Amino acid sequence: MGQGEGQTPIPGTLTPLAGAALPHAVARRLLACHADRLPDLSGIVVIVPNHRAAQDFARALARAAGCAALIPPTLMPLRAWAESLAGGRAEAPALRLARLHGVLRRSNGLGAADTWTLAGELLGLADELTATRFGEAPGARLRALHGEALARETALVETVWATLGVDHDAPEARYARALDALLETLRTAPRPVHAYALGPLTGVERHFLDRCATCVPFEHHTFDTSTGACHVLQQAWQHTDPPLAARAAALAARFPSSPLGGRITLAPAAHLEAEAQAVAAWVAGQLKAGHRDIALIALDRATARRVRALLERLDVLVADETGWALSTTAAAAVVDRWLECVAADFPHAELLDLLKSPFVLGAPGARQDEVLRFELALRRHGVAQGLADMQRLAHAEFGTLPAWLATLADARQGFGERRAPLAVWLARLADSLACLGAIAPLTADTAGAVLLDTLDTLRRELATDTEPYGFAEWRHWLDRALEAASFVDAAVSSPVVLTSVPAARGRLFDAVAVLGADARHLPPRPAPGLFSQATRTELGLSGIREATELVVDDLMQLLVQGPALLSWQAWRDDEPNPASPLVLRLQALHQMAWGASLPLQAPGRPPAQPGEPPAAACVTPAPTVPAVHLPRRYSPTVYQILLDCPYRFFVRSVLGIRELDAADEALDKSDYGSALHRILKVFHDGAPPTERDAALAQLQSCAAAGFEALPAYTAAAWNSRWNPVQAAYVDAWLDWVAQGWHYASGETEFTVPRNVDGLGEVILHGRVDRVDVRDDVRTVIDYKTASRHQLKKKLDTPDEAVQLPFYAWLADAAAAFLPIDETPVIPLTLEGDTDIGAIAERLPALLAAIAAGAPLRAQGVDATCAHCEARGLCRKGMWHA
Amino acid sequence: MREPLDNAAALDPTACVVVEACAGSGKTWLLVSRMLRLLLAGAAPSELLAITFTRKAAQEMIDRLYDWLRLLAQSDATTVRGFLRERHVAEEDVDALLPRARGLLEAVLSAQPGPTVTTFHGWFLDLVQRAPLDAGLPWGATLLDRPQQMQDEVCERLFARWAASDTAEGVALRALLADIGDSNLRGLLRRFLDARAEWWAYTEGHADPVTYALDRLRPLLHPVLETEPAAAIWADPLQCARLARVADALEHGTATECKRAAALRQALAQHDLDAVRRCILKADGGRLASKATKSVHAALGSVIEGWLDDYTALEEALENVARHEIDRRIWALNRHGLLLGHAYVESCQAAKAQQGLIDFTDVEWLAARLLRDPVHAPAMALKLDVRYRHLLLDEFQDTNPLQWHALSAWLVDARQSERGITVFMVGDPKQAIYRFRRGEARVFDVAADFLRMQFGARRFSTDMTRRLAPVLVRAVNSVFADAAGFAAHAWTPENADRAGAVLCLPVQVEKRTVDVPPNLRNPLLTPLPEGEERAVQAEAKRFAEMLRDEVLGRWGVADADGLRAARPGDVLALVRRRTHLQRYERALEQAGIPFITSRRGGLLHALEAQDLVALLETLLLPHADLRLAHTLRSPLFGCNDDELLQTFAAREDSGWERLLRCAQQPVCSPALARAARLLVRWRDLCGTLPVHDLLDRVYHEGDIEARYAAAVPPAMRPQVAANLRAFIELALKQGGGRYPTLTGFIRELAALIDDDAAPGEGVAADNAYAVRLLTIHGAKGLEAPIVWLLGGTDHDRAAAYAVLAPWSPEAPRPEHFSLFGRIADHGTGRADWFASEATLAAREADNLLYVALTRARQGLIVSGDAARNAWLKRVDTAWQAFPEPAELPTAAPVAVEVDTGPVAIVAPPVGSRVAPAVRSIAAARGEFFHACLECFAPPGARRDLAALAMRLKLEDERWALETAARALLARGELARFFDPARYLRAHSERALLDADGQIQRLDRVVEFEDAVWVIDYKTGEDSLTLSDTDLAARHRAQLERYGQLVAALHPAKAIHVAVLRADGRLVVV
Ligand code: SF4
């Protein structure tokens, strides 16, 4: 059934078999035909779609035979059967790819094409073409059909032909020879051959079956679509004629109630989580109903992964047969981090990742504390990259170079960098991994073992390839190779399996769920390749149409075995996401025939572990603090924070919690500010001359020194920012000097002790940028990179912006902001009538109140909250009103 | 030229048609109906190509199409006939088309491929990915999903390189840094990059694009740019003399004038032209209304005329100098900026090429190039699997010129090669709001003309809206009455009785006087009042309170089931920009109204998402106190401030160590104990478990959903739940699961947080529960019973340091391309372009208002700062002239079905974990030896021993092992089992099927006359260390099972079972 229009049916006797599941039917048929042979069926061959299907078939056979033991028929997929007889070995795929790539990378005019991708695609195409047993060379065929329209594509195909010698070493060519050999053995010693659910057949395979049918009894079994659920699915999916209504009427006449009733359930979900919950609920239901072997067909991998996690919460383990790209495993990630360290001289993030990994450098527990200390040091010192700097830092931190860092350095040293063939690079990688002590831990990890094996196999397969590559090129290749390799975690054994449509072909299940049955996954749509579907057809290759028919065929076999579920996300990313056309067609037919839609599966609630104490409603925090926890020293910054939001004060000053610096934070505005502060201090400390040009020159040299150590761009940017201000600064200063002021000190600490009720003595203190004196008066000056406008606003509300009044009070002086990020440079002085005493004395009063139990409420204004590091603690935004 | 819409003509499947359709007129209805008519008329599904503006719109269109096809397939004949008539199928055809109509569902669903409904980007990407190799496109390239990150990296790299070099770029960089500063420079480069398609189009075919662009700019500027204009003035004795005269005269004036005179003298002496300017002109560069006071006039007497002439001449000279200087600045900006911009673009392209990536702009540009170049046409035709013959274009007003050129090239070509091609285009230039994405409303007219000329397309327009109630139609008409090209809208007859309300709410705030309150504020008792933007503050409060107290639960809205009171989901609140979004959110929060919002950064800014990030960071670096404290305070652990004090206050060690120690104490609080226990457990998992699986453990063991539901206010619950869900989905999907480590994932989130590609908030399943707070752009295509347009203070900031690239849609490329700085530096040479850009911008602002106002079905409220909001003033004026009801009649609330929540999933445990097989060299040897025996023992099995040895890494030992195996088989005492002459039959690897359906493989079965021997090879090294009894005991169960199987096959014979060890000893069991 379901043969593509362009394809001839598979030869041999076609025997449609009734019954729900094909393997059972085939087993019964086999026993009926060959009852005389029992118990020895070894003379018979059954071609099965895959090895797991063989196991299922064996089960079916044992059940049908009902005897204690029998000698089973040869149960094999066609390819395995043939290759068990083939001699010689096919050229390794990695080597073929490398050889082809070696040629492609030298051919001109491929422009921006990714040659590895292209090589991979061409290799696949070559295999497909070989498998059609294409008579003439495809290049010639293409030219004959399309002239020069696809000149470059044609030329490429010819290159492949010339490079790979597709008629000899190619795996498909070898397979074709194996089939020939197999046919010979069948000719000489004929055995009955049965086959079912063969899946897609290449030209070569078809040809074999053709000839096979002429020399041995050959039965190809399909299932009978004239009955029950199967018939309904066939009517929905394989026919469009007569019209829907007529087919529906015929079905209704034949089956008064729907044969699908209660068997096929749909789960259109509102989002991914809902889909996963619906599937999990359905699986749970099946298990409770006593069904054991359950297939989850993962068309949508994300949902499948989510379902697996939810089921694991119920201790329903899922065996994943499909696997993941090797590159997505933690083991591969370690290799990737290591190579990134090699490539970019140890970026801190990758390095730390490596240091925290259990796969390298011995047990991570042993170095854990050191690594944490190292990480904090990296952040403190802003070291983002560079092994040399890191070694220096580690030395400073630990007094000696920690073993783990030394090992990394050694491994890096040993990693050769000259251009080399792929296999040599792989050997270098293996050596460095050994040096890092990664081999044993990786071997002990299931994915790690596969990874090492893969690397090793690639190295052996590529031993003869001599094309040299640079590090980056090799890494690109390696990434692709690990992306292409798959990792199947065999750590779970379970009758509930996560699998794919081809892998489920011909197998027995008690229940089947199809996850992701939407239009984007079903039928599958291949990505556009080198040739269009039409051209592929001209070349005798199969296309979308065949793929669709095949998937329909496979799904029918799976869905009729027992209860089935089709789930999908009816909404995705807030967009409607139509169901698969197959689902829509089935729904329409069912609705018309029986006036009812298929039943729906609702999401279930996955279990969780409630903890003690239960969560309480979020409210605005307002802790009271015992006096012992209050700090003893108070700067204007702390005072300001207390004014802005008492809870933030609680976090910063009582709990003492600060944000950690990130190692690679770009230099920001405040860094510019502090650089200027330093420069100006050096300038004034150096007693600059009061002659303008000389003063300017001196300031210039201070600035030059101050910016010298910066990265080039930052230096340039800050220079160009400071340059125009510099002269204005000198002018303002000279003006100030002319008024009789002179510089007394910079970065000066002022402290005032105060006795606070309930708290005892506290120190109020502040560090002032510059102190100038005239006669016996002084002015404290605070440099600011903020704009004049912003500073004015602060001066307007000295009771809320307390820094300057607080300085004035501490130093008993006049006070001024000096904006140093704009011209002209004009100090902004605190209004003379500001009651600085009242402002300053408010602080001890507040502290007394806090010590006496006044709560520290979270109540910042939005402008404060926007930059507040404590939001995660105060939980503003989640408060109950 | 524009005819009123005639649906019959517009839907005629053979005609080409352009429809200009106002908001709510049913564009989608028309478009999908047209698709149906095409299908009915025999078009193959694959011949349909519909292009719309967003993927969401495309999906909705497909959804609608399927709905209708289902209806046609399943409804009774009368309904179908009615449906066809509604879509103007000719009466005589209705019955004839009935069968076809019914069959369309299956025809479309089984078509391979089906109709294409996509966006320009989607279509272009498909073209580019299929392009023939000789088109020179990046074959195999994949779409870069987050361009911003790469662009920033490239920028940093270039800056570092340029800053350290003396190349032209280095010089340009330093010059620009000095002239415009770091942040303007970055802005400029970013905008240049955004305009790269224009840049490429403008400079296409020129080997040196920068020089070309500069050459074209040069004539627009002052002829002399190399020298400073000020010098010319000082070199001109005439001017100097004038200056002196002016100064002299001023000395006769007031004290101020004397000062001016002195300053002028000094300026003259120092050749300081800026100082001169300050004396002669106003601060803003304008001319003084009165040049001198009466005293000067009096002093000069009749000479004043000459003096004034001098003054005017100076003014002119100074203005000339100013203009000249502007041109010099323009020149410098472009000379340096274009150089760096071009280099930046090239570097970004190179970076993408290196990684095999392309972005949407590349796709657009490449597709346009591909379609415009006829050379590739034949190859392209071979590359495509579909021949589109019916093009349907939606929302065409938002198309950009480049897209239009690509499309028109394709159309011209398609018309030549294909007969019967049709084009159907709908759009509404009034709703064009995507200039910032290079959309160009004028494309619509150009395209309409093109289609009329080339395809004979008729152009219809409709102003009949099905969405707006009559009150709203009148209100909208009054607002736009004076707008150019606006035709008054009408309502559909069905809506005639629908109630409507419009309300304009100007918010007034008195200017706050800054006076220091008599007493200092006590921050422990009195919070600081919210300071800035008080109008917005007041507006937000009004908004939330009015919704809560007057609108929700009272205003009656009509839906399919009749009249009911408004629910939060009925309200759409719109803002023009995101600036004040937070303020409105806060107000809704305080009023307890649930909402969803399109805040920038979306999901990752939500507190619950930040909680999870903090948790993950804590797992990686528990010594980060802030993260740990954040995690502890989050509902996940729900620790209170006392517990924080215990953990953090006054200590020398880190909070983490304290927490662990505290958890050891018997008196530890349950919350801290739980936190310590779970954190330690999860920390152990984070090295090996994939991020998603780790998060699932966290959700499961931390009972996250329930704890958040208990912690947050009821109004927020659905959104918080949706966000938690979205976060775990992120771990599954972000970067296609490419971040296998936790660090990688966190870093990715950190990089993403302010990226344009940041994931949006989770969408709660039930939309009815929440007010939607969106930008007008975000609300495109949406509608709601009640719309509130929040105006705020609405100050427009003019673009600065950006690209001027006017591109009229008829032209193949922009007519100009240059950079500009601040408004004051626009100069005169480009004035026309600036003016027309300004007109376009103004039109777009109008469009934005139109789009906002026409989202509403029944209730429309506009609010904003009465003093500063232009829209508000406009609406207020219009509506005051035509008063309409200000509230909707009340209706009773209809209870929403309360979701009882899903049922708990319960299932019996299934499956088990299996320990991975041990891989040791001993095991490998055993396996190989085993294979040798199989191979060498007659009749012999086929095994590729060489390959096996290689796989097992036993190449070195291979020969030794093989020899040993042969030697074993040759042993005399074993001959009866291995010498074919001594037995009847022997089988190696004998497969037997037991009653359970398991296939058992027996190493060797040897049949004699009276007996059958089953021999099991135990060739592993471990078997050598066991005594015979132990060995037999170990394998007895298995071997007896084999024995039974063989016995069943040979009931008459005696069965013997034995183990063969590697040393050749046979142990009979
Ligand atoms: S976020 Fe706001 S309310 Fe919360 S602690 Fe920070 S400043 Fe206070």
pLDDT of residue A654: 92
Q: Which helix (H) or strand (E) holds A487?
A: strand A486-487
Would you place residue B282 in the very low, low, confident or very high pLDDT band (cuts 50, 70, 90)? confident
Q: Which of B118-132, B730-744, B817-831 has the lowest mean pLDDT?
A: B730-744
- Beta-bridge mates of residue B423: B391
Give the pLDDT of residue A5.
Answer: 37
| Contact list, A856 vs chain B (CB under 8 Å) | 524
Show the tokens assigned to B270.
Answer: 């120092």
Residues 6+ apart with CB under 8 A from B839: none
CB contact under 8 A, A58 and B624: no
Q: Which member of A313, A574, A644 has the closest CB to residue B56?
A: A574
Say what the pLDDT of residue B688 is.
74
% of chain B at pLDDT higher than 70: 96
Instruction: Quote the ligand 1 centre to A2 CA distance (angstroms).
Output: 67
Of B623, B650, B994, the CB nearest to A376: B623
Please tell me what DSSP assigns to residue B548.
I
Q: Give the C-alpha distances (Å, rounded to integers) separating B298 from A361, B292, B303, B307, B712.
A: 95, 10, 10, 12, 79
Using CA atoms, how far apart are residues B397 and B426, in angstroms rounded to an integer? Answer: 8
Residues of B in Cβ contact (< 8 Å) with A327:
738, 740
For chain B, percent of residues with pLDDT exceeding 90: 45
Helix spans in B271-303 (H): 273-280, 294-300
Nearest-5° Cα angle at B654, B650 to B659? 90
Structure tokens at B23: 């908001």
Tell me the C-alpha distance between A755 and A759, whole Å: 8
Q: What 3-state class would DSSP assign to B749? A: helix
Predicted pLDDT at A1: 36
A684 contacts A744 by C-beta, under 8 angstroms = no
Higher pLDDT, A511 or B149: A511
State whether the beta carbon of A642 lies less than 6 angstroms from ligand 1.
Answer: no
Q: Is the CB of A870 under 6 A from ligand 1?
A: yes
* Residue B737 reports pLDDT greater than 60: no
- Contact criterion met (CB below 8 Å) for A726 and A699: yes
ipTM of the complex: 0.92
pLDDT at B1035 over 70: yes
* Nearest C-alpha neighbor of A120 from the set A471, A461, A500, A485: A485
Cβ atoms of B331 and B221 within 8 Å: the answer is yes
Please say whether the beta carbons of B759 and B711 come within 8 A.
Answer: no
* Interchain CB contact of A646 with B (< 8 Å): yes
For residue B607, the Cα-to-chain-centroid distance in whole angstroms is 21
Separation CA B365–CA B584 (nearest Å): 40
Quick one: pLDDT at residue A622? 95
Q: Are B181 and A617 inside 8 Å of each other by CB?
A: no
pLDDT band at B758 (very low <50, low <70, confident <90, very high): low
- pLDDT category at B575 given cuts 50, 70, 90 is very high
The β-bridge partners of A777 are A774
Tokens 């709703």: give the residue: B431
How far, in Å, CA of B1046 to CA of B1056, rounded?
Answer: 10
Q: Distance between CA A699 and CA A680 in Å, rounded?
A: 8
Give the per-residue pLDDT at B513.
Answer: 56
Mean pLDDT across chain A, nearest whole number?
88
Nearest-angstrom CA–CA distance, A646 and A860 = 8
- pLDDT at position B340, please? 97
Q: How close, in Å, is residue A743 to chain B by CA atoms?
A: 31
The residue among B214, B78, B161, B153 whose CA lies nearest residue B350 is: B153
CA dist B843 to A623, B441, B850, Å? 55, 9, 10
**pLDDT at position B694, please?**
92
Extract the tokens encoding A120: 């991979």
Angle between helices B655-664 and B670-685 (to 10 degrees): 120
Check residue A56 and give its pLDDT.
93
- Contact between residue A798 and residue A831 where contact means Cβ atoms under 8 Å apart: yes
- Regarding the beta carbon of A126 and ligand 1, being less than 6 Å apart is answered no
Pocket test for ligand 1, best of A641, A648, A867 (most atoms within 8 A of CB): A648
CB B772 within 8 A of CB B784: yes
User: In the prediction, which pLDDT does B517 show?
Assistant: 57
Question: Cα(B460)–Cα(B18) distance, rounded to whole angstroms?
Answer: 6
- B734 has a pLDDT exceeding 70: no
d(CA B637, CA B625): 15
> Each residue of B467-508: pLDDT tens digit?
999 999 999 999 999 888 889 999 999 999 999 999 999 988
Phi, psi of B471 (to 5 degrees): -60, -45
Residue B957 is encoded by which pair of tokens?
């030992």
SS (H, E, C) B108-174: HHCCCCCCEEEEHHHHHHHHHHHCCHHHCCCCCCEECCCHHHHHHHHHHHHHHHHHCCCCHHHHHHH
Tally Cβ neighbours within 10 Å of residue A790. Answer: 12
Asked if B893 contacts B553 with a C-beta cutoff of 8 angstroms, the reply is: yes
Chain B residues closer than 8 Å to A84 by CB: 942
The residue behind tokens 């100030």 is: A736
A273/B729 Cβ within 8 A: yes
Cα dihedral B180, B186, B187, B188 in deg (nearest 10): 70
Cross-chain Cβ contact A856/B524 below 8 Å: yes
Q: What is the mean pLDDT of each run of 10 residues along chain A (881 residues)?
A: 45 66 88 88 92 93 90 92 79 88 80 81 86 74 80 82 72 87 91 90 89 89 81 91 90 92 91 94 95 94 93 94 85 90 87 86 80 82 81 87 88 87 93 90 88 92 90 90 88 93 93 95 84 84 87 91 94 88 94 92 90 88 93 94 95 87 58 90 93 94 89 89 92 92 92 92 94 92 92 89 93 92 89 86 93 94 89 91 72
Q: What is the pTM of this model?
A: 0.91
Distance in angstroms (rounded) separating the CA atoms of residues B334 and B818 = 7
Longest pairwise C-alpha distance within chain B: 151
Ligand 1 contact via A645 beta carbon (within 6 Å):
yes
- State the pLDDT at residue A14: 66
- Distance between B114 CA and the closest CA of chain A, angstroms: 10
Structure-block tokens of residue B920? 């040791």
A276 neighbors A307 (Cβ within 8 angstroms): yes
Instruction: Give the E-state strand segments of B508-655 in sequence order.
Output: 556-559, 562-565, 571-575, 595-597
Cβ contact, residue pair A356, B906, below 8 Å = no
